Amino acid sequence: MLRKRGSVILCGAFLFITWNAILVLLLWGRPPTGQPDDSGREQREAVEIPTNDVVGDVLRMADTFEAELEMQKKILLQIQSHQSLWDSSNKDRPKVVIPSQPVIPILVIACNRVTVRRCLDKLLEHRPSAELYPIIVSQDCGHAETAEVIRSYGNKVTHLKQPDLSDIPVQPGHKKFQGYYKISRHYRWALNQVFKTLSHSSVVIVEDDLEVAPDFFEYFRALLPLLQSDPSLWCVSAWNDNGRDGYVDPGKADLLYRTDFFPGLGWMVLKEMWEELEPKWPASFWDDWMRQPEQRRNRACIRPEISRTLTFGRQGVSLGQFYDKYLRYIKLNTEFVPFTKKDLSYLKEETYRENFQKEVYSAPVVTYEDVKQGQLQGKGPFRLQYSSKDSFKVLAKNLGIMDDLKSGVPRAGYRGVVSFISRGRRIYLAPPPGWTQYDASWS
């Protein structure tokens, strides 16, 4: 309809201009009496034509010209009238926009939390473009009140409903984990909708209990090209597992890391990666499955120093595990960082590994007592060394960072190193020099 309207307007304007130009040329092109024509001959015949006939011709031509102008005026008025009708009939229709940048949909995994409103409100508040960041809410559980909340957003979001709400047959010892099985089934279905049905090439996944930072969209937009071009990466996450207030540098909102630990809690993945994972997607505990060596395949994720998501969902299938001790204290970034205008090439694998290892292993080695008692001399960074699973867990627990390992990988770790702030100093909890690989038995 929009193209048809534009074509009619252009056609009318073209006819108007063309007709007037022809009339002007006819008047201008009539040779005056006694002047040479194009061949240089005298216009003798013109001298013989009575003057009153020439005047009559001009008057008749002027009348024709005036009539034509009146007709063209009516045509233009009709076009204007049709334009107002078209505008009125299309005022509620979304404009067809062809994005000049890749579309990054946001997939919200929802179930039975009416507080999904907090998640959606923040997404809509900070979203810079509805065309570039469509919000897709996939709901499991069939919870009517939650469905009503999602519907209340109208066409601001796309509401999908997981069709299979049946219980999943599980072994007797896993009956209490039925919720984890349903979550895994829902993730698989929802991601297939995004990539296979809607044909998107990437997606950012958040759950219904996450609040996003002001630069959440900017962060993922800037890192999409890196994820697409670097085969040693398999995701981008908005989350720092050790991102509690006091454990991050508030002056380093633009600092990003590579990590071997899959963080989740607001993460971007490409269609090609989903095509690799989907055929072997697990029946339950999908996030721990993602952390296994068979899925990670020595690939890393990008994570921030300061988290771009914050979880407010204490109640869920995990029954608040880690929430009261860690998650509720995660610091959410409030400073907008223009990541798309920054040079992020330092995050490429070889450059990052070389620089990171140099900084970590050139830092002076300190003891736990020095760190805990705040007796460090200088600005740092400092290296605190562990040599076994047990020594890592003791140091991590006593220093207040998360001490669990998945397939031998510590949370937020890169090549065995965990970076955090303690009493205002940067600390690298690191294995001895010469580290080569994780020990999967450290779990």
Angle of helix 144-151 relative to helix 116-126, nearest 10 degrees, comes to: 20
**Which of these, 334, 332, 322, lies nearest to 401 by C-alpha position?**
322
- Please give the backbone phi and psi of residue 360, each rounded to the nearest 5 degrees, phi first: -65, -50
Q: How many Cα atoms sit within 13 Å of 238 on the Cβ side?
A: 30
**Which of these, 418, 414, 420, lies nearest to 429 by C-alpha position?**
418
**Which of these, 400, 10, 72, lies nearest to 243 by C-alpha position?**
400
For 399, residues 6+ apart whose C-beta sits below 8 A from its C-beta are 368, 371, 372, 420, 422, 427, 429
SS (H, E, C) the chain: CHHHHHHHHHHHHHHHHHHHHHHHHHHHHCCCCCCCCCCCCCCHHHHHCCHHHHHHHHHHHHHHHHHHHHHHHHHHHHHHHHHHHHHHHCCCCCCCCCCCCCCCCEEEEECCCCCHHHHHHHHHHHCCCCCCCCEEEEECCCCHHHHHHHHCCHHHCEEEECCCCCCCCCCHHHHHHHHHHHHHHHHHHHHHHHHHHCCCCEEEEEECCEEECCCHHHHHHHHHHHHHHCCCEEEEECCCCCCECCCCCCCCCCCEEEECCCCCCCEEEEHHHHHHHHHHCCCCCHHHHHCCHHHHCCCEEEEECCECEEECCCCCCCCCCCCCCCHHHECECCCCCCHHHCCCHHHCHHHHHHHHHHHHHHCCECCHHHHHCCCCCCCCCEEEECCCHHHHHHHHHHHCCCCCEECCEECCCECCEEEEEECCEEEEEECCCCCCCCCCCCC
Angle of helix 216-229 relative to helix 116-126, nearest 10 degrees, comes to: 80
Bridge-based pairing of strands 425-430 and 418-422 is antiparallel
Q: Which residues are catalytic?
A: 287
